[in-house]
Amino acid sequence: MELSHWDKKEQAPLVEFLGASLLSHPLMMYYCPDRDKREKFITRYMEHNLPRWIQTGTVLVSDPAHAVGVLLPKNAPEYRSPSKGALSMLSVDHSRRIQSHRNVTRNIVGVMIPREKPVQVLTLFGNAAAQKQELLQLVSEAQDLADEKQFVLVYDTFSRRLVDALENQGFSTGYQRNFLDTHFIQTLMTYNISVSYTHLTLPTI
């Protein structure tokens, strides 16, 4: 289900649920290494970004509202520079980590997919152990949009829990490598394109 408008009070239960359920989400762990501060960080991160993602991309919400899928064009503002609001909301370290992830992802996608191809990057926010079926349904909805609007769908994740399932849903794993100098493994999977990634060479970040 697409979330087409933002009402802070109406969406408060969703934000509260995500704050608690994403404590072990690998991307949130990278963004906010301090577990004691992570729930507050996630809540503020979602409150700040969900209304912006509705404007710049597509936000899909599971039923029940326990997981979120975010589709953003590869050239969305989020993949260029953080907004002033984001900088004031987050610590310098949080902002640096978020922007590092976005820069790396943008550069990899730029190498993987021909420039002329329209691309949208999918990020899933949910507990892959507890909400696997809800997350896979969100992916199916994203695939339907990709088929309808004829864009390349790139799934970006720091978790390998859904990789096998998504390969069964028509995705191909195009990139899998340690993220920078961390222990996190970043995986990028593609749908709606056939490309050989064997000789993928990344640009300098």
Higher pLDDT, 89 or 9: 9
**Chain-centre distance of CA 197, in angstroms?**
21
Joined together, the tokens standing for residue 49 give: 């970004």
The whole-number pLDDT of residue 199 equals 40
Joined together, the tokens standing for residue 146 give: 């990709």
Three-state SS for 125? Answer: strand
User: With 90 as the cut, is the pLDDT of residue 85 above it?
Assistant: no
CA distance 96 to 14: 26
pLDDT > 90 in the chain, percent: 76
**Mean of the pLDDT values across residues 74-96?**
66
Of 20-34, 42-56, 81-95, 147-161, least confident by mean pLDDT is 81-95
| pLDDT digit string, tens, across residues 166-186 | 999 999 999 999 999 999 999
Joined together, the tokens standing for residue 17 give: 């649920």
| pLDDT digit string, tens, across residues 109-135 | 999 999 999 999 999 999 988 899 999
**Mean of the pLDDT values across residues 28-34?**
96
- Is the CB of residue 192 less than 8 Å from the CB of residue 122? no
CA distance 108 to 202: 6
pTM of the model: 0.89
Of 32-41, 120-129, 189-198, least confident by mean pLDDT is 189-198
| Angle, in degrees to the nearest 10, between helices 35-56 and 8-21 | 140
Half-sphere exposure of residue 8: CA atoms within 13 angstroms, side-chain side: 6
